[in-house]
Structure formats: C-alpha cells, structure tokens
Amino acid sequence: MTILVTGGAGYIGSHTVRMLREQGKPVVVLDSMEFGHRAALLGAELVVGDIRDRALVTDLCRSHGVTQVVHFAAYKNVGESMLEPEKYWMNNVAGTVDLVEAMLAADVRDIVFSSSCSVYGTPESVPVHEDAPLHPESVYAESKATVERILGWYGVTKGLNSVSLRYFNAAGASIDATIGEDWALTLNLVPLVMKATLGRRGPVQVFGNDYPTPDGTCIRDYIHVDDLADAHIRALDHLANGRPSIALNVGTGVGSSVLDVFTATEHASGMTVPYEIIDRRAGDPVSSFADPSIVRSTLGWTARYDLGKIVESAWNWHSTHLDGYGD
C-alpha cells in the first residue's frame, strides 16, 4: 500500500508527501537531491537515487510494497530547456520511460504525473478546457506533453493507469509556514515578489503593462501548493478505485493580474512591493486560467485557497526563512 513519490523533496512534492502522511498513507520518497531539501521531508523516508536507475526503482517498489507512484521528479526551467534541451529529453522524457518500465517490472500500474498548463502554449481562449489543442512552446512544455502521450501509450500497450495533472501557476507555502518554496531555485512571480519586498533583491520587473487586460498586466491562475497536493491524493484514489486514465487541469478558474499579486502581497505584509515596468517578455500569454469543471466532477476537487491566502502563506514562509532551508 506504499506510495512512491519521485521528486518528493522538491517544492510541490514535499507538500504532497506531508499531506499523504497526515492522512496515514505510507510513503517512500525517491529524490536525486540535486534540488531537493532533506528538511522539506519532515522525516519521511528518503531514498537518494535517480529515476533512470531501473534496478533501484524496481527493488524499491518490491521492497516497500509500492502500489502507486506520484511522479514529480523533473527539470522545470523553461529558459534552460531552450538552451540545454538534451537535459529535458533525457531526464523528463527518457527518465519517465525508465521509471515506468521499472514500475511495470514490479507490477506497479498506477501513476500520477506532474504535468503543466504550459502544454497548451498560448491558449486560444480562456478559461482553458482540457480539450484545447496542445501547443507546447518550449522544450520543457514539450517534455510534459510528450510524457502525457507516452503514458497514454503505456496504457494501451501495458495496462498502465495514469492521471496527468496540468498545473496552472503553483504558489504559496504550507499554512503553518513549516515548508515552502526555495526562492533560490525559482524565477516565478510570487517568490520574486516576496524576495523584492523583503529587500533581498531589486525591484520586481513587471513584463509589460500594456496588455489588453483591466490593469494592463498579464493574467494567470495562481493555485495554492496544498490544493495541488490535495489533487494528487484524489488522483491516486481515482486510480485505486479503477477509474480511467485522464489528463486534468488543476487551477482555481480565477485569473489574477501581476498587479493583483502585488496588492495581495502589500495586504499580507503591510509593506510596499518595489517594482518597475519593463518590456513584455517574449512568449508570455496575455491571459491563462483554467476551466476546473472536469477536475471538480472527476476528482471532487476544488481549490480551497484564493490569491490572498496563497500570498499570505508565501509571505509567512519567506519572511521567516530568509535562507530557505538553510542548506
């Protein structure tokens, strides 16, 4: 009955591991520790190793009685993926093939996969529905879309069951500020805003304020990391109940602008967010937010936290962990 969590010492992985354990579910984490943090595991069992090591994964599945896998382990830097694509093909794509082969060798057939809204590229319309065409616009996004398709073919050929969760903009930290995101490792908006507000970097550079949106800045669907964790656990239950493989959007359905994030941060912190407006960033969609109706009807999942709570939790974590996990 054990759940194997690859990349469980990372940002979303560690929140999912914690929630699984709080629900009394046995967990073992496989993490290379290239970017993971031991402290983020809060004592969960860790095996340091690579998803590409098939013998290790098969042994791990057999020795721990693994029945299901949540697969987070991947590289996730969009810019880097365009400069060093091989890393993304090998780790994200080939690594997943190795992981699945090793699972199947141990007769493990359920996998929940960490996918991304970036598989849609610039959405043709919002809210984004799951049947929107996939148009990856980076090697990173292509690696996620390719893995989704590979998992589908493993379903046809080998009876693998999969749920691919297409996250929108993951953000925030645990409500008790025990675990959170390592701001040294991310270029995403929310941690950058926290860093700037806490005086740990210069002003946030806003990538354009002349978009056709109410305040001129881009709109995204920010989703709390514990809401994402909850979606993974429901996806595991879905597969355990013998329900069919599926790809689901995981977002709140609410779009927030860059300036909305600043306003929420100022409310949570009582401080001013320093920022400057610069040119648009190439490839930024003007607006992207989920239609969450299928995830709601399929998994019974709905987001509990709004932007205010996301930003407040991020503030509480970063302002008390200025050096992250200190490792």
Binding site for ligand WQD (CB under 6 A): 76, 78, 116-118, 167, 169, 188-189, 192, 204-207, 218, 220, 258, 281, 284
Please say if 140 is a catalytic residue: yes
State in angstroms the smallest separation of the CB of 257 from ligand WQD. 8
Catalytic residue among 11, 75, 88, 140: 140
Please give the single-letter amino acid code of residue 149: R
State in angstroms the smallest separation of the CB of 137 from ligand WQD. 9
Please give the single-letter amino acid code of residue 214: P
Provide the b/e sequence for 177-188 (b: ≥16 CB within 10 Å).
Answer: bbbbbbbeebeb
State in angstroms the smallest separation of the CB of 145 from ligand WQD. 11
CA torsion, ordered 188, 190, 194, 199, to nearest 10 deg: 40
Q: Please tell me the distance from the alpha carbon of residue 215 to that of residue 250, in angstroms, as a whole number.
A: 25
Nearest Cα neighbor of 317 from 168, 188, 190 is 190
Q: Which is nearer to ligand WQD, 124 or 237 (CB)?
A: 124
Residue 65, classed as helix, strand or coil, is: coil
Q: Which is nearer to ligand WQD, 92 or 162 (CB)?
A: 92
Q: Please tell me the distance from the alpha carbon of residue 47 to that of residue 64, in angstroms, as a whole number.
A: 11
Cβ atoms 290, 168 nearer than 8 A: yes
Q: Which is nearer to ligand WQD, 28 or 225 (CB)?
A: 225
Tell me the CB-side half-sphere exposure of residue 277, using CA atoms within 13 A: 10
Q: Which residues pair with 220 in a beta bridge?
A: 256
State in angstroms the smallest separation of the CB of 15 from ligand WQD. 15
State in angstroms the smallest separation of the CB of 307 from ligand WQD. 12
Residue 241, classed as helix, strand or coil, is: coil
Cβ atoms 297, 212 nearer than 8 A: no
Among positive and negative, which fits the CA dihedral 87, 323, 188, 180? positive
Q: Which is nearer to ligand WQD, 205 or 263 (CB)?
A: 205
Nearest Cα neighbor of 322 from 219, 186, 184 is 184
Nearest Cα neighbor of 307 from 207, 171, 193 is 171
State in angstroms the smallest separation of the CB of 47 from ligand WQD. 25
Q: Which is nearer to ligand WQD, 204 or 236 (CB)?
A: 204
Tokens of 105: 């060798």
Q: Which is nearer to ligand WQD, 58 or 221 (CB)?
A: 221
Residues annotated catalytic, as ranges: 140
